[in-house]
Amino acid sequence: MIFIETPPDTSGYMIAGYAIAFGVMLIYVLSLIIRYRNLNRDLSMLEEIDKG
Amino acid sequence: MKTKPRTLIALDILALILLGVSSYLALVFAPTEATMGQVQRIFYFHVATAWVGMLGFIAAGISGIIFLVTRNLKWDRVEVASVEISLVFFFITIVLGSIWARPIWNTWWTWDPRLTTATITELIYIAYFMLRQGIEDPDRRARFGAIYTLIGSVSVPITFMSIRLYRTIHPVVIGTQSAEAQGGFNMTSDMRFAFFFALISFTIIFVDLFWNRIRLGALADKVELLKLKVMQ
C-alpha cells in the first residue's frame, strides 16, 4: 500500500494571520498620521492665539 | 514643526519596499512546509515581529537608564516611542502565534511557558501607559517611566529564554528544543533566506516607525508648552 502524503490545507489560517498583521500595522501607521495632523492643527491655532 | 527630513522620507519608502519584498518571500518564494502546509508561512512574520518587539522593550530600558543619568526629557520621548511600537509588534506576534497554534497544536491558546511569559511582557507594557497617564508632572512621569521600563525589561530575556529553560511545546528555531516541542521544522536554504530577510526588514521598519514616533512626541511636547504659555 502506498501513502502519498500531502500537506494539510491550512491556507485559511495563513490568510487570517497575514490579514491581521497587515491590518494592525496599517491602523498603527494611520494613528500616527492622524495624531500628527491633529497636533499640527493645534500648534498653528495656538501660535495664532499667542501672536494675538 | 520642521518639515520631514529627506532621510526619513527615504527610510519610509525603503521600509515600505522591504515590507513588500518580505511578504513576497514569505508568501511565494519560500517553499511550503511538508507537514504543516501554508500556515507555516506565518512563522516569518511571527519571529520578525517578536524580534523587533523585544528590541524595542530593551531600547526602552536603555533609554530609561540614560534618562535617569542625564535627566533630559528627550530620552523619555525615546522610551515612550520604543514601548508603543514594540507593543504593536508584540501584539502581532502573539496573535500570529495563536493562529498558527490552532491547526498545529489543535488549540488557540495554552498556558505554555513561552506563551505565558510573552503575555505577561505585553501586559507589563500596557500597564506602563495606563500608569503613566495617572501622573501629571512631566518630570515625575518620566522618572517613573524610566524605572518601570528598566525593571520591565527583565521580562524580555525571561520570555526569550523560556523555551530554552523550561519544558515547553513551543518549537525552538535556533538551538536545541525540548522533547515535548510540537511544530518544529528544519529550514531549507530558501526558508532561511526569507527568514533572515524578514528579520532585517522588520528591524528597518522598526527604526522608521521609531523615528516618526519620536518626532510625534517632540511635536506633542511643543504643543503642550505653547498651551501652557497661552493659558498664563
One-character DSSP codes across B83-100:
HHHHHHHHHHHHHHHHHH
Average pLDDT over residues B75-83: 97
C-alpha cell at B222: 511643543
β-bridge partners, B33: B37
Locate the domains of chain B by residue range: 6-30+37-231
Average pLDDT over residues B143-165: 94
Measured CA to CA, the distance from residue B42 to residue B99 in angstroms comes to 9
The predicted pLDDT at position B179 comes to 63
Measured CA to CA, the distance from residue B42 to residue B112 in angstroms comes to 19
Shortest Cα distance, chain B CAs vs residue A42, angstroms: 7
Size of interface A-B (CB pairs under 8 A): 100
Residue A1 pLDDT greater than 80, yes or no: no
The predicted pLDDT at position B232 comes to 78
**Which residue does chain A place closest to B33, by CA atoms?**
A7
Three-state secondary-structure class, residue B115: helix
Per-residue pLDDT tens digits for B118-145:
999 999 999 999 999 999 999 999 999 9
Band (pLDDT 50/70/90 cuts) for residue B187 is confident
Residue B205 pLDDT greater than 70, yes or no: yes
Dihedral of CA atoms B176, B199, B26, A16 in degrees, nearest 10, equals 90
Per-residue pLDDT tens digits for A6-48:
778 999 999 999 999 999 999 999 999 999 999 999 999 999 9
The predicted pLDDT at position B180 comes to 67
Measured CA to CA, the distance from residue B184 to residue B193 in angstroms comes to 18
Cross-chain Cβ contact B216/A35 below 8 Å: yes
| CA nearest neighbour of B80 among B123, B39, B45, B128 | B128
**Which residue does chain A place closest to B214, by CA atoms?**
A32
Complex-level ipTM = 0.92
